[in-house]
Amino acid sequence: MGDKRWKVQERAVAQTLNGERVGPTGTLCALGDPEQVSVAEVGERSMEALDHEWRKTGEILKAIGDPTPADQLLRNALHKLCDAGRVERDPKEKKQGVTYRWRAKT
């Protein structure tokens, strides 16, 4: 029987940035402004995506667009907005493992 271990090969990954190639030995650059993915900024972007209709967290994540924040960052922002009375959460109690729905406070 042959060797079933994975064989790892180094592969160069290249991107084009403003017409120039950036590879594994090139300069790294930020993909966005860190302020755009702060809890406060994600909260404000969430408010723009919310209206009177109940929406799941994943739907809000898709609606706020790029740069896409991490799921946990969005949940933290939504919980802070709920605590501040700006959004409503269904269910109202914090429960582990439940699917939350959100809407702007009416």
pLDDT tens sequence across 82-105: 999 999 999 999 888 899 999 999
pLDDT at 66: 84
pLDDT at 99: 93
Q: Which residues of the chain have pLDDT under 50?
A: 8-14
The token duo for 83 is 């605590």
Choose among 46, 51, 58: nearest CA to 105: 51
- Look up residue 54 and give its amino acid: W
Measured in whole angstroms, how far is the alpha carbon of residue 7 from the centre of its chain?
33
Instruction: Walk me through the domains of the chain, giving residue ranges and CATH numbers.
Output: 35-104 (1.10.10.10)
pLDDT at 8: 47
Does the reported pTM lie above 0.75?
no
pLDDT at 31: 53
